[in-house]
């Protein structure tokens, strides 16, 4: 059984003006996501600025999200690292904090071999009991996981159950699903490709768009699952201009700007991320209005 089906939000982490985690605001946005129909919360991923958090902050945020959600929907914790030892530590900590699953990015910078990737993921999976999603995003990590590697891990390691695919390589994704024989739970890692990946047997999306449009992102998936592919596709296409604006600078710069434009007061980014360029913020505000959010 899949960890979740539908739209999981790749949740931002709100900060105070002093740059500390804003826990009251975190509670608020988690509640808004649940009320908006989000099917799962993904805490401390790329969008949550996990790369600028200490391990203590990281696990504190995961614990807080788990406590707020209180098993109403699944919580998946980002716990990847380019160090297997650190990834094991974060994964065990997230499991102890109450996470229902883990999202583990390929180890960046090291450029492990395919055999190294298998050893890395197997070591982490052996250290925990909760299910694991691989996270394939070569544009950020510099590492490509072959389809055979993804399928081998899902077939041979009991608690590795699927992959968040953000490569954008439809041929590679089709190869995964061709080899998988049903053993890989596929999630889109790109908001502009939800429907195509659902058409290849995907279970849903891990979404940045859901931060600002949770109900609409959920409905794209739900309409597809209910057999109304035409409606699902129309909703996907309607969202494309907003999605493009949300990625006109590196994520999560635009989505935090969008939430602040919406009056959510989620605070600043942590360096080395900086505030959105004025011309891009104007574009973003225009698309939020066109989409009916502002």
CA-to-CA distance for 243 and 288, rounded, in angstroms?
10
Per residue in 155-188, pLDDT tens? 999 999 999 999 999 999 999 999 999 999 999 9
What pLDDT does residue 122 have? Answer: 98
CA-to-CA distance for 107 and 140, rounded, in angstroms?
10
The answer to whether 76 and 102 have CB atoms below 8 angstroms apart is yes
Query: What is the token pair recorded at 102?
Result: 């883990």
CA-to-CA distance for 56 and 44, rounded, in angstroms?
12
CATH node for 6-231: 3.20.20.70
What pLDDT does residue 1 have? Answer: 80
Q: What is the pTM of this model?
A: 0.97
Per residue in 223-268, pLDDT tens? 999 999 999 999 999 999 999 999 999 999 999 999 999 999 999 9
In this structure, which long-range contacts are made by residues 280-283, counting pairs with CB atoms below 8 Å and at least 24 apart in sequence? 280/245, 280/248, 280/249, 280/254, 281/257, 283/245, 283/248
Among 25, 121, 152, 164, the active-site one is: 164
Boundaries of every domain in the chain: 6-231
Location of structure tokens 């999603």: 133
Q: By C-alpha distance, which of 178, 166, 169, 110 is closest to 143? A: 110
What value does the mean pLDDT of the chain take? 97
The answer to whether 283 and 248 have CB atoms below 8 angstroms apart is yes
**Does 164 qualify as catalytic in the annotation?**
yes
CA-to-CA distance for 294 and 88, rounded, in angstroms?
42
**Does 71 qualify as catalytic in the annotation?**
no
Among 25, 121, 135, 291, the active-site one is: 135
CA-to-CA distance for 245 and 248, rounded, in angstroms?
5
């Amino acid at each position: 059984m899949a960890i979740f089906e539908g739209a999981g939000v790749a949740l931002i982490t709100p900060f105070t003006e002093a740059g500390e985690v804003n826990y009251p605001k975190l509670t608020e946005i988690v509640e808004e996501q649940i009320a908006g129909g989000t099917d799962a919360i993904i805490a401390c991923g790329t969008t949550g600025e996990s790369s600028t958090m200490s391990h203590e902050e990281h696990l504190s945020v995961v614990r807080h999200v788990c406590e707020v959600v209180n098993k109403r929907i699944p919580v998946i914790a980002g716990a990847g690292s380019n160090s297997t030892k650190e990834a094991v530590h974060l994964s065990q900590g997230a499991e102890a904090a109450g996470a229902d699953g883990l999202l583990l990015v390929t180890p960046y910078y090291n450029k492990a071999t395919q055999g190294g990737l298998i050893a890395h993921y197997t070591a982490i999976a052996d250290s925990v009991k909760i299910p694991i999603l691989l996270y394939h995003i070569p544009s950020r990590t510099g590492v490509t996981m072959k389809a055979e590697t993804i399928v081998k891990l899902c077939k041979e390691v009991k608690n590795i159950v699927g992959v968040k695919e953000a490569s954008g390589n439809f041929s590679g994704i089709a190869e995964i699903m061709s080899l998988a024989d049903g053993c890989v739970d596929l999630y889109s890692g790109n908001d502009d490709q939800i429907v195509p990946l659902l058409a290849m047997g995907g279970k849903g999306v891990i979404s940045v768009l859901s931060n600002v449009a949770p109900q609409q992102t959920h409905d794209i998936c739900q309409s597809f699952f209910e057999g109304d592919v035409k409606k699902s596709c129309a909703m996907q296409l309607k969202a494309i201009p907003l999605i493009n604006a949300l990625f006109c600078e590196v994520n999560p710069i635009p989505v935090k700007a969008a939430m602040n434009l919406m009056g959510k007061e989620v605070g600043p980014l942590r360096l080395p991320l900086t505030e959105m360029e004025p011309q891009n913020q104007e574009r973003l505000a225009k698309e939020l209005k066109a989409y009916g959010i502002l």
